[in-house]
Amino acid sequence: MNVENSKAQMRKGVLELCILSILSRGDAYTTDLINMLKEDEMLVVEGTLYPLLTRQKNAGLLSYRWEESPQGPPRKYYSLTQKGREYLSQLEEGWANLVNTVDAIRTRKNA
């Protein structure tokens, strides 16, 4: 057992929700997503994001398009699909419940 490991597991669990949430505010290119998630310390190693994005895309939650970049090869821009929006609202509901439940457990006085 180690604290960093446990924290990492927690972050991984909600990373999916965070990606969808960021994309619900506007399209983003993978590196933008990485920078935002890293700034908020939601992402420790960048590699974690890629399998997740690909899975969400293949599940129809995200779509992407290629856009030219000022330097270097074209970039992948992701956007949230209608299905992704619905999925996100379900996840948000789940998250709210989870926070409430966990708080209730943490603050409950043992009878």
CB of 45 to other proteins, least distance (A): 2
Q: Which is nearer to other proteins, 29 or 95 (CB)?
A: 29
Residue 23 makes CB contacts below 8 A (sequence gap 6+) with 33, 62, 78, 79, 80, 84
Q: Tell me how far CA of residue 29 lies from CA of 20, 26, 109, in angstroms.
A: 13, 10, 47
CA angle at 43 for the pair 74 and 61, rounded to the nearest 5°: 60
Contact between 2 and other proteins per CB under 8 A: no
Among 1, 39, 70, 71, binds other proteins (CB under 8 A): 71
Among 73, 104, 106, 108, binds other proteins (CB under 8 A): 73
Q: Which x/- pattern, by CB under 8 A, does the window 38-67 give for other proteins?
A: ------xxxxx-xxxxxx--x---------
Longest dimension (CA), the chain: 64
Contacting positions for other proteins (CB under 8 A): 12, 30-31, 34, 44-48, 50-55, 58, 71-73, 76
